[in-house]
Structure 1
Amino acid sequence: MSEGLNRPLSRIHIKDLRLRTFIGFNEEEQRKRQDVVINIRIDYDALSAARGDQVDEALNYKIITKEVIAHVEDNRFLLLEAMVNDLVEIVMAHQAAQRVEVEVDKPHALRFSDSVSLTMAASRA
């Protein structure tokens, strides 16, 4: 079956993960949790999992999501940059992940704006 095909990496996209955490350096931001919306795109080689329909060959995005939720909800962040960087590192700790892009939105961070977001990416050499 399609042995000669050249396939790029597959992508898992965790969409609109809505969590609450302490983020920001203003006094009010330090006192109450705020909403954040997280999008994570993970590229990995899913071909052996797909061909063999083997669970143990697939990237376990449920475990990654649980790690992200625990980290965001159990910590405090002064900067969006710190949170996004931490999430990139959490995903890349899984060896199957070849590339990750993490975007975190902070809704209503600015007046007259729906949200402010920051995106960071990393890939294996």
Structure 2
Amino acid sequence: MSVSQLAKIRIKNLRLRTYIGIKDEEIKNKQDVVVNVELHYVAKRAMHSTEIEDALNYRPITKSIIQHVEENRFELLERLTAELLDLVSADARVTFAEVEVDKPHALRFADSVSIALCYHKD
């Protein structure tokens, strides 16, 4: 039986605050967003190594997500999600990425509204 060399990294429920929306209240006040990321990469080298350089390091990826969300303003959830997808899929080793961003309390009777976008390496 062979072992799969495909690794999946999941960053779950990263809770951040940013300016997002088009209403005056949304433009003036930061709101909560929840970011979920899934990244796939071939982990053959990392599976037999002790060197962080052989793995896709999720710490700097997470830090860049936090910095991007907290230091910018977004009118649309789609735009924020697309920018984060570009950011997390920038590493050449990433073969698949999915980013989902939830905007809690966006609708009166719903927990949240979310947008998810995917990247597939050709």
User: Using the alignment, how far apart are the partners of 1:75 and 1:55 within structure 2?
Assistant: 30
User: Using the alignment, how far apart are the partners of 1:69 and 1:37 within structure 2?
Assistant: 11
What fraction of aligned residue pairs are identical, expressed as a percent? 47
Q: How many residues align?
A: 122
Dislocated runs of 4+, deviation >2 Å: none
Residue 35 of structure 1 is aligned with which of 32, 38, 61?
32
Counterpart residue number, 1:51: 48
How does 1:1-16 map onto structure 2 within 5 Å?
5=2, 7=4, 9-16=6-13
When normalised by structure 2's length, the TM-score is: 0.95
1:8 CA displacement: 5.2
Q: 5+ unaligned residues in a row in structure 1: which ranges?
A: none
Counterpart residue number, 1:101: 98
User: Using the alignment, how far apart are the partners of 1:52 and 1:22 within structure 2?
Assistant: 41
Greater strand share, structure number = 2
Structure 2 residue matching 1:109: 3-state secondary structure: coil
1:53 CA displacement: 2.8
Q: 5+ unaligned residues in a row in structure 2: which ranges?
A: none
Structure 1 residue matching 2:108: 3-state secondary structure: coil
Residue 81 of structure 2 is aligned with which of 79, 84, 87?
84
Q: What letter is aligned with 1:15? A: K
**1:49-88 CA-partner distances (Å, limit 9, x unpaired):** 0112321100011011111101000000000000000000
1:47 CA displacement: 2.1
User: Using the alignment, how far apart are the partners of 2:86 and 2:119 within structure 1?
Assistant: 9
Aligned 8 A contact 2:5 2:44 in 1 = no
User: Using the alignment, how far apart are the partners of 2:28 and 2:112 within structure 1?
Assistant: 20
